[in-house]
A and B are shown apart, each in its own frame.
Chain A
Amino acid sequence: MADTTAPMEGERRVTFKEKLAEIFIYGKSMVPALLVLLFILVVLFGAVTPYFFTYTNFKAIISNIPIIAIMAVGMTFVILVGGLDISVGSVLGFTAVNVALFHHMGFPAWSIILVCLGIGALFGSFNGVIITKVGVNPVITTLGTMALARGMASWFALDIESLKLGRIFDQNFLLIARRYFPKEAQLIPITFIYVIVLYVVMSLVLKYTRYGRSVYAVGSNEYAARLAGIDTSRIKFSAYVMSGIMASLAGMILVAQLSLGRDDAGLGSELEVITAVVLGGVSLAGGKGNLLGVIISVLILGVIRNGMVHLQETIGISYYWREVVKGAILILAISIDAARLMAIKKRQVVRQ
């Protein structure tokens, strides 16, 4: 008797491994894979504790992600042009300290915002100049800037500590991060809106402006882009400036959220930002990826962070595993990126 459950000749049962590879590696966009991942995580954490699904928890998740989300936008531009910026966390910290400093000196909120954006632009420009004009490797450059900014943050913070001036009291300033919509029900934090608007605007820029298309062109094939008349140095430079400004923006929002400006703000955040961007499908090789994948993976990382807190409360897994998980996800993300690149290379193997 024929075995009706066996695959017929010419068919093959698709194995789980192959299905996985199909979604994560061979798909054109990472978005479906990320959505699957997000879904799985939500289900997993929900199984650990029903508290996961409450609205309060949801608010907790989304109020923690703006910082990473904002920096991820800048990092996306940088990685799209084929570079890297590991100084973002330190620029954030330096900005935070300056907010406190200027606040103490009595500057009004709007001027603090302007000055801090200027700081971000300054660091970004510095990175940009060293990388594009002098030609130093981006990682080493931003490694140096990272130390520079963090050192300056600690240095400036010395004054603050001695005068105990970390706290911010200016309501106008605090409100940039503390408003909720609608006012009474306190449903959606304003930072959520910032992130949505930023991502929508930047996505439009990347897709619909010449500048955005040039960013992709430079990342895809810098030589060809230059031949076509695109000022590749300028494009790369602008990406680093963007990254710097996003970092300082994130710094301001962080201070407003905590009402505290400390020199260790953003310590280690560059790791999360890079993870979010690479996991989101922006290839380290440059020229590929978009912000949709990035925002989803920022959400994934936020869910994981939140979930681990719950894990500690219920199962007792130490919260300190968070750093380990962060590093592991980064390596996982770049492995997926490498596998995707390899799959494309294999497809393009030509007879020579």
Chain B
Amino acid sequence: MDDQAPKKYGRGLFLVTVAGGLTSLAWGRSFSGALSKVPFSPGGGWRIYTVAPTMPTFDPATWRLQVGGLVDKPVTLDYHELRSLPRTTEIRDFHCVTGWSVPHVHWSGVRLTDLFEHVKPQFSAQAVRFTSAEVPYVDYLTLQQASLHDVLLAYEMDGKPLPREHGAPVRLVMPEMYGYKSVKWVSRVDLVMQADDGYWEQLGYDRDAWVGRSNGL
């Protein structure tokens, strides 16, 4: 009567699928890199994360970047003045703490160290606060971190002016840290005494968000 036994494969299929999905939380990491290279990956693999109801709009006529705080020569730059500062390009992978990455992003903009030369940080300044026009987003880097050679205020992405959803007209790019450190729509850069919790750090994320060495990843 064995051939009469009901073929109860359904439960097995259900459990194997659920188990496969749940265990992928452990082994799926190796696939997410591959997934980001899939050609139909929408929007080039980017996700647009925002915390405010509307994205800031950029008007070249009225936009200003204020650089101040504990500096000897605070400056207010308009878009044209920002673009006339020494320009540099970095080609780096962008890593989000939530698990997605975008390979080989071309960023062009101003090195923070070049900006600091203009404003002359005071001796007491040990950190930098980046304030976004997207209220209430804010984040900090230590002066040491901000002085790494590859940290930029980027106004171009992949050869074009920075798109609105990526922080137009200028965003921070801190390639060695997860994306939440790279503040979009930067409107103020202030030298301060010490780093504090930024927007996501108040929700439990690490201040020092080194890629692969922070946030329990």
A and B bound?
no
State the B residues within 8 Å of A (CB): none
